Amino acid sequence: MTNLTFATVLFCCLFIAFVFILLLDNRSYKSSKSVANAYDKWTNDYLLERLWGEHIHLGYYKQSPKKPDFRQAKIDFVHELVRWSSLNSLPTGSRILDVGCGIGGSSRILARDYGFDVLGITISSAQVERARELTPAGMNCSFEVMDALDLAFKDETFDGIWSVEAGPHMPNKQLYADEMLRVLRPGGVLSVADWNIREIENKPLTLYEKLILKQLLNQWAHPEFSSINSFKKNLLESPYNLSEVETEDWTRFTLPSWNDSIFEGIRRPLDILSLGGNAFLKGFREIPTILLMRWAFSNYLMRFGVFKISSK
């Protein structure tokens, strides 16, 4: 069999496998339970953790000649958002709520490097279990299963609120903003980073963009994306907000993450193969969505927005 024939057969087999998995594994948003189920599966099969490490979010790539390692870029992202949002202005021992904490990567950095008392919440029970396993004994960092749209805390409980890439899973963006601001004490700091759709008021979505957007929503259990301006408006119009909201577009700093998330499978093939053939198929299943995300962010359909506010 020639190399060309072998490559063709391999491609056909992978394509059939991809379609098969796609048909059997519908991850479109139906309710908060569908989000929880998706993250339970991603956590229990260890694929994301093996490829992405402890941080299930994009990295921050500084504009320098030397590109950082993918996992280091994720760590850099946490420190850069802390600096940009002025979360580091809070004193040691400040109580921080990490909304949508994943398996606790950011929570542990906030506790270890900044001395904060951190509580991470996620809707996924598997993520909470894994976050607890990864957190060293004695670290001022804990985790609970909780819905971000129904926070079980009194008003003004926390000194800082941290939320990275959780917003797209929220069906009610205003309630998401309200709940975070409700539990933030006066003088506290809000740090949010999210995937956002571009502003469409003056430039409506084309049919092609709508089709791509539908896939981006359906494949990773997202009900809808807000734009940077629309979520800024949610924060400004919240009855719990008493200050101005600042935003920036970090698309150019985070864009390399999408290619790197695929290249990690090439750099660490044994990490996938050690999990078995099913993990390989699951990893392959994600590639089209990752490539669509890369296209959407590089062609201004999607933007990476960061938000900060200092309550008075």
Give the pLDDT score at 48.
86
| DSSP summary character for residue 227 | B
CA 282 to chain centre: 19
d(CA 231, CA 6): 49
By CB atoms closer than 10 A (0-12, 13-18, 19+), residue 211 is: exposed
Q: What is the pLDDT along the chain (312 residues), one digit of tens a residue?
A: 455 564 555 455 555 545 544 554 568 899 999 999 999 988 998 888 988 899 999 999 987 656 778 999 999 999 999 999 999 999 999 999 999 999 999 999 999 999 999 999 999 999 999 999 999 999 999 999 999 999 999 999 999 999 999 999 999 999 999 999 999 999 899 999 999 999 998 889 999 999 999 999 998 999 999 999 999 999 999 999 988 999 999 999 999 999 999 888 788 777 777 877 777 777 778 888 899 999 999 999 999 999 999 655
For CA atoms 215, 216, 217, 221, the dihedral sign is positive
Between CA 180 and CA 196 the distance in angstroms is: 18
The predicted pLDDT at position 268 comes to 77
Q: What is the token pair recorded at 103?
A: 């398996």
Beta bridge partners of 144: 121
pLDDT given at position 19: 53
Q: How far is it, in rounded angstroms, from Cα 90 to Cα 105?
A: 20
What is the set of domains in the chain, with CATH numbers? Answer: 22-310 (3.40.50.150)
Q: Provide the β-strand partners of residue 99.
A: 121, 163
pLDDT score recorded for residue 1? 46
Rounded CA gap, 106 and 54, in Å?
Answer: 8
CA distance 143 to 123: 11
Position 238 scores a pLDDT of 97
Residue 27 and residue 168 in contact, taking contact as beta carbons nearer than 8 Å: no
Nearest to 122 by CA among 52, 42, 58: 42
Distance separating alpha carbons of residues 149 and 166, to the nearest angstrom: 11
**Residue 92 one-letter amino acid:** T
Those residues with Cβ within 8 angstroms of residue 282's Cβ, 6 or more apart along the chain or in another chain:
21, 45, 47
CA distances from 105 to 102, 127, 138 (A): 7, 11, 16
